[in-house]
Structure 1
């Protein structure tokens, strides 16, 4: 199984267009200590030829352009792609806006929970994925049940605590199952090796940690270092857990638990532009590495 981290930042990327935080200023100044990152995006393949996107980032076009393995092949005709489908972990804009970049008359298979499908089906923007009959094919996947997407890749959706995206109206929100809005993924190759992809992780339960123990690679939510990271920069902003992200640091943060996984390679992704771990000279960056964990970057490749 091949995993390509096409983007490792949270929404807005690094640098974020309207942000003058320390990391964004350093990234714009081409500091060797703070490397720019695009918004979180993963590509996975069970055979190295057929690829699935996990989510569809707003930066998807540039991410595909930078990765030749995901380019169309001229010998296969005018319109073709090695991308076999898209698996969505939520209906958040950061994970779905890139679908609108896939409207150019090429069939696309999209997989999600029933709740995520219900949210997106009410938005007329996504009708652009059906400019020709049968262009988009939606598959609703049950949580907790392994599904073989092709002969070489098995996917299991893991239900997580969550809520509908902020853009969903209050009236529509009352009709949705909040427990069907956010999932993590277990990706399994034919050789039995497994990877976890959890870009949004509200908490680390015993059940989730047990799942991680069955994996060789865990790509986990690294959005914030601390619970009050945004609040310390701008009053009135929500905390990390209020936004659905367990922080990395602190006594109840994810680092302590992930560093104790016995066999898994633990990698933080979906990292917010304000997170000090992005600065390679920071004590937080050093603490993560000394704990045996890693910090994802655009272009990171993982082979299992």
Structure 2
């Protein structure tokens, strides 16, 4: 009987240890599962750096970065689960995709940064110096034009209609133009090149950097992070079904790590303004 009991206990011990071993292997596997991050442009370069960082290793994250040059295609791939998380879009872009998407919905994981749009001028050093009848160059791209007009409103140069759309609003939605400003619509990538031909130009930060302009020092007025610019804050997004994935949420924490932020600040001259806000800030 004693030998039988000992044999049974031995079997139980083996089974328990085996189960614990399988659990450990499962936990280890989940910790090291590769997360595919889809991105483009400067975000792609940033996430390549993040993927190789010590901070990623400390959080137990293995990241593969995939470059996709079409935003709609990247969002579709994410919604369908072919890309785990994407890093490239603003809150406005995200909302517009979810409204129109027929392949699936996305969920925001957290905020990353905002690149301020600026008003640039070679003729004037302050917005208040812009004279009556001045010509302002604005993007012919709908979303960029709307964003630029909101900035002109914030600068006190124009007033917009009450129902102005931050995604599709245009110069036709200007309610009041006391200085009788003239608007020249341009390809938004040509802003720095037309700077000498008009009184002022609205230029996105990506284009400004390519034209060797620094929004925080070279513009005469620029966006700040507040409720009026919340739609321009960039986010990390995933498929809706993965919104509570703990590993994916760690990417938000990872992005805001001090070492990562120091790298981004040095590489992009402080023009990618870190925004560590809860999603509730965007949803107000």
- TM-score, normalised relative to structure 2: 0.29
Structure number with the higher helix fraction is 2
Q: Bigger relative contact order, structure 1 or 2, given CA contacts below 8 A and separation 6+?
A: 2
Greater Rg over alpha carbons, structure: 2
